């Protein structure tokens, strides 16, 4: 920098330095001012505060399912039948699009808890009612672009890239769970 | 030129003179919209810029008045729109003009873009003019998408969900970006509020870019159906009255068509599902965007395969990300066509091979539009893939190659040459078309 010479023939060290320092200070200032504006578009405190939901599971018989809202999204809670559990556990992992064993996706094998949003483009898949179209694997079927999920909520066919997400949840008693 | 103004102000009105000597806006209007020399051979395709400007104004005015009655809240939005339809004086008229105006805007702009592509208006020296146009198209798409969310019907909600979820395909930070866009964990009240805010803002941004678009046009001058530059005053006409009249005639025809939709088929271009209030728990059986997005939606869904290194099973781009890249790429590629097209000849009239490629492109886009309107299954997926392939082939391969391989037809010596020549009068004397023509 010391040997840079401008068109008038004198080295511009001090001026260049002031110029760069001013520009850098202004740049940092602009970024510091922009960040609060950008961050204001992230979820607000009250939105985050609504982040847990308690669900009572009494009265949901095997084969039945309920849908609850959590963070504005539907969560599928399904009381699986013995046949559905067997099908989920016996699936050959090497044939899966997003390989994941069933035991990694459930806490209690009787209950499947997944976010009811197709991982393709966010539609709500069918399959919570026994009368719904459930796809080839008896789990869920997304009517938007034809993704097929099995009884563990794993993607088995169609454009979706991932298994249905499992929310963070815990059993607060034998018959109730807290999501989030 | 009746308004000739070299030095001093040409205006008689003392107030106008006083203003003009301090801020020469009247002189500018006379120069840019009175005398502005435009090629004399415009066809009706050259109406569509003015038509787009008219629709933009109609949209801003109706939108402003609609916003006085609309409530941007998930609990009230749907009902406030129904109130506009039933209770607000002429609310139905403003809303139907605004809703159909969006469709008319895209019809006009798509034809305007076709005009630019067919007659080579994107070529030197109009590259920047074209780029401003592509920016306007992107802004229009964002504005139209967010406007469609505001009535908070089923299609609003699920369209917003599907389109915002596209961003989750971005590697690493996709999910964070989607949460940021939503301001929550799903499309909800914060999303509706910001979409309303941006839907109000973006049209004014569009006005700003339109100003730059028109300013750039007035530096280079208009292209014309022959794609050759005017060689002198004999090749041009003053914008007023020749093209003001032609634009007024065109806008009359346009407004008849616009009014036919508004008054006789106001919901023809919409979806019945959007008269059902938004429900986050029930997805409509068949989510479709508005018609003007269908070709792009079809490209999104055409990428049904992962892209990876062959024979290794390594995936580089998942199908979902591939679809998103393809869809956005279909617009982004337009930014570069001024340099992708290597032919020195602008107008497709004198390019026997490119002309047919151009019509193939139109066919591909129309077929893509049809594919986008149907469920993505069976043969239609393959058809959409072929059309998507052609779309990119056209811009990325044919445009650079044809400029080198194609033998263009001979260009006329000037714009006025074929006009001045009487039918059957034989060849013109040399130099006749180079002289300024006297107007009778």
CA-CA-CA-CA torsion for B42, B44, B48, B51, nearest 10 degrees? 110
The CATH number given to whatever domain includes residue A101 is: 2.102.10.10
Is residue A89 domain-shared with residue A27, that is, in the same domain?
no
A47 touches chain B (CB under 8 A): yes
Encode B368-413 in three state secondary structure. Answer: HHHHHHCCCCCHHHHHHHHHHHHHHHHHHHHHHHHHHHCCCCCCCC
B181 touches chain A (CB under 8 A): yes
Average pLDDT estimate for B73-86: 96
Could you please report the per-residue DSSP string of A103-159? GGT-SSTTEEEEE-S-TTT-PPPB-SSTTS--TTTEEEE-TTT--EEETTS-EEESS
Is residue A30 domain-shared with residue A105, that is, in the same domain?
no
Residues in B touching A71 (Cβ below 8 Å): 184-186
Residues in A touching B319 (Cβ below 8 Å): 159, 161
Closest CA to B42 of B214, B227, B256: B227
Give the pLDDT confidence score for residue B169 in this predicted structure.
86
Give the pLDDT confidence score for residue B337 in this predicted structure.
97
Q: Which of B183, B282, B376 sits opposite A43 (nearest CB)?
A: B183
Mutate to test the interface with A, among B75, B168, B184, B193 (most CBs of A within 10 A): B184
Q: Is the distance from CB of B20 to CB of B27 less than 8 angstroms? A: yes
Instruction: Assign A9 a pLDDT band (cuts: 50, 70, 90).
Output: low
Is residue A21 domain-shared with residue A66, that is, in the same domain?
no
The C-alpha atoms of residue B184 and residue A70 are separated, in whole angstroms, by: 11
Mutate to test the interface with B, among A159, A162, A179 (most CBs of B within 10 A): A159
A74 touches chain B (CB under 8 A): yes
* pTM of this structure: 0.86
Is residue A31 domain-shared with residue A54, that is, in the same domain?
no
Q: The domain containing residue A122 runs over which residues?
A: 47-179
Residue A165, judged by CB atoms within 10 A of its CB (0-12, 13-18, 19+), counts as middle
Percent of chain A with pLDDT over 90: 33
Q: What average pLDDT does the structure give for chain A?
A: 86
The C-alpha atoms of residue A150 and residue A139 are separated, in whole angstroms, by: 4
CA-CA-CA-CA torsion for A151, A152, A158, A160, nearest 10 degrees? 150
- Number of structural domains (chain A) is 2
Is residue A75 domain-shared with residue A113, that is, in the same domain?
yes
The C-alpha atoms of residue B203 and residue B139 are separated, in whole angstroms, by: 8
Is residue A89 domain-shared with residue A116, that is, in the same domain?
yes
ipTM, two decimals, is 0.74
Is residue A100 domain-shared with residue A128, that is, in the same domain?
yes
Is residue A155 domain-shared with residue A86, that is, in the same domain?
yes
Only one residue has tokens 């395909």, namely B169
Give the pLDDT confidence score for residue A159 in this predicted structure.
80
β-strand pairing of A169-173 with A155-157: unpaired
Whether B290 sits among the annotated catalytic residues: the reply is yes
Is residue A24 domain-shared with residue A104, that is, in the same domain?
no
Give the pLDDT confidence score for residue A160 in this predicted structure.
84
Q: Is the pLDDT of residue B186 over 80?
A: yes
For the segment B21-67, what is each residue's pLDDT rounded down to a tens digit?
A: 999 999 999 999 999 999 999 999 999 999 999 999 999 999 999 99
Give the pLDDT confidence score for residue B308 in this predicted structure.
77
Q: How far is B99 from chain A (nearest CA, A)?
A: 25
Q: Which helix (H) or strand (E) holds B166?
A: none
Ordered structural domains, chain B, with CATH: 30-283 (1.20.810.10), 288-407 (no CATH)
The C-alpha atoms of residue B432 and residue A129 are separated, in whole angstroms, by: 83
Is residue A142 domain-shared with residue A62, that is, in the same domain?
yes
Is residue A9 domain-shared with residue A87, that is, in the same domain?
no
Is residue A104 domain-shared with residue A65, that is, in the same domain?
yes
């Amino acid at each position: 920098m010391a040997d840079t010479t401008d068109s008038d023939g004198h080295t511009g060290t001090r001026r260049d330095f002031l110029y760069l320092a001013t520009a850098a200070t202004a740049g940092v200032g602009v970024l510091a001012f922009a960040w609060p504006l950008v961050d204001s578009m992230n979820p607000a405190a009250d939105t985050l505060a609504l982040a847990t939901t308690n669900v009572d599971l009494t009265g949901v018989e095997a084969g039945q399912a309920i849908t609850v809202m959590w963070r504005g999204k539907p969560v599928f809670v399904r009381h699986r039948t013995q046949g559905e559990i067997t099908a989920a556990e016996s699936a050959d992992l090497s044939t899966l699009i997003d390989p994941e064993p069933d035991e990694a996706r459930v806490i209690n094998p009787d209950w499947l808890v997944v976010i009811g949003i197709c991982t393709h483009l966010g539609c709500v898949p069918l399959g919570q009612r026994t009368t719904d179209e459930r796809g080839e694997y008896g789990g869920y079927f997304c009517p938007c672009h034809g993704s097929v999920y099995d009884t563990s909520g794993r993607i088995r066919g169609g454009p979706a890239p991932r298994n249905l997400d499992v929310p963070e949840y815990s059993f607060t008693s034998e018959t109730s769970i807290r999501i989030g | 030129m009746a308004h000739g103004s070299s030095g001093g102000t040409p205006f008689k009105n003392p107030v106008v003179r006083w203003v003009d000597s301090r801020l020469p806006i009247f002189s500018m209007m006379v120069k840019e919209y009175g005398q502005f020399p435009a090629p004399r051979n415009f066809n009706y395709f050259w109406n569509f810029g003015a038509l787009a400007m008219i629709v933009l104004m109609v949209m801003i005015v109706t939108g402003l008045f609609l916003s006085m009655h609309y409530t941007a809240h998930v609990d009230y939005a749907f009902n406030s729109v129904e109130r506009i339809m039933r209770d607000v004086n002429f609310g139905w008229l403003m809303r139907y003009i605004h809703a159909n105006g969006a469709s008319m805007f895209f019809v006009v702009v798509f034809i305007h873009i076709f005009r630019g592509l067919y007659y080579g208006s994107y070529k030197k020296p109009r590259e920047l003019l074209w780029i401003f146009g592509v920016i306007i198209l992107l802004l229009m798409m964002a504005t139209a998408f967010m406007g469609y969310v505001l009535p908070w019907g089923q299609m609003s909600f699920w369209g917003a969900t599907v389109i915002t979820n596209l961003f989750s395909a971005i590697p690493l930070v996709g999910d964070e970006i989607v949460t940021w866009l939503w301001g929550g964990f799903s499309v909800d009240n914060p999303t509706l509020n910001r979409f309303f805010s941006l839907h109000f803002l973006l049209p004014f941004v569009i006005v700003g870019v339109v100003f730059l678009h028109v300013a750039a046009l007035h530096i280079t001058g208009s292209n014309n159906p022959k794609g050759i530059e005017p060689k002198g005053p004999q090749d041009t006409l003053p914008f007023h009255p020749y093209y003001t009249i032609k634009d007024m005639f065109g806008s009359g025809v346009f407004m008849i068509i616009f009014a036919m939709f508004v008054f006789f088929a106001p919901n023809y271009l919409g979806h019945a599902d959007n008269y059902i209030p938004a429900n986050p728990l029930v997805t409509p059986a068949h989510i479709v965007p508005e018609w003007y997005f269908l070709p792009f939606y079809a490209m999104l869904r055409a990428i049904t395969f992962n892209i990876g290194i062959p024979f290794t099973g390594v995936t580089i781009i998942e199908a979902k990300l591939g679809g998103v890249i393809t869809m956005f790429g279909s617009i982004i590629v337009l930014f570069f066509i001024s340099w992708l097209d290597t032919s020195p000849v602008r107008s497709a009239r004198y390019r026997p091979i490119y002309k047919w490629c151009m019509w193939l492109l139109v066919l591909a886009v129309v077929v893509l539009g049809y594919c986008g309107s149907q469920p993505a299954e069976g043969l239609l997926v393959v058809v959409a893939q072929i059309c998507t392939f052609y779309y990119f082939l056209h811009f990325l391969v044919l445009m650079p190659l044809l400029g080198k391989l194609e033998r263009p037809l001979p260009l006329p010596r000037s714009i006025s040459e074929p006009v001045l020549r009487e039918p059957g009068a034989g060849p013109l004397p040399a130099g006749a078309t180079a002289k300024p023509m006297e107007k009778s």
